[in-house]
Amino acid sequence: MACGCSSATVQEIAHGKGEIGHHTHQTSQLCHWPVQLALVPATAPFLKGADLVLAADCTAFAYSDFHQDFLKYHALIIACPKLDSFDAHLNILTQLITHSELKSLDVVHMEVPCCSGLVSMAKQAIAASGKNIPLNEITIMIDGNLKI
């Protein structure tokens, strides 16, 4: 789209091996676009029957193995529980869960207090959807390590 935003179009992505200069880099595990919660329609084909990762925006920057550990074989949606509209995102997430037949939902968030709002949002959305899907919470410490 020469004049429009590519985020308005749902796309699936196939990856090959990447190379930058003389350095080979790990292949991205992202398999679809868009990823921003506000831009993903409830009918997006990549959500149907998916294992979904709902990640706070900062997590992929803080945790160096984010793609390998969390994205491989998963769909991804990102949001910021502090800067985004909680109610608007809760409504969108509820619709996604209601219409997508998710197999599971992993919430990846930072250890900071405001970020736990993403877990609350996920729990409320699952309850409002009437679905019974497993929810897994993963916390990333600000030093980039997993909280165990």
List, for residues 71-101, the tens digit of each pLDDT value. Answer: 999 999 999 989 999 999 999 999 999 999 9
**7, part of any domain:** no
More confident residue, 35 or 3: 35
Mean pLDDT of 98-117: 96
- Residue 53: give the domain boundaries: 28-140
Domain holding 64: CATH number? Answer: 3.40.50
**85, part of any domain:** yes
**23, part of any domain:** no
**110, part of any domain:** yes
**96, part of any domain:** yes
Domain count, the chain: 1
Q: Please give the helix or strand (H or E) that residue 61 lies within, else none.
A: helix 59-62
**125, part of any domain:** yes
Mean pLDDT of 56-74: 94
**51, part of any domain:** yes
CA distance 115 to 50: 24
pLDDT of residue 55: 98
Question: What CA–CA distances, in Å, run from 95 to 53, 61, 72, 99, 108?
Answer: 16, 28, 24, 6, 20
**126, part of any domain:** yes
Res. 128: pLDDT tops 90: yes
Res. 5: pLDDT tops 80: no
Q: How confident is the model at residue 22 (pLDDT cuts 50, 70, 90)?
A: low
Q: List the beta bridge partners of residue 54.
A: 77, 107
pLDDT of residue 1: 42
Mean pLDDT of the chain: 88
Quick check: helix, strand or coil at residue 106?
Answer: strand
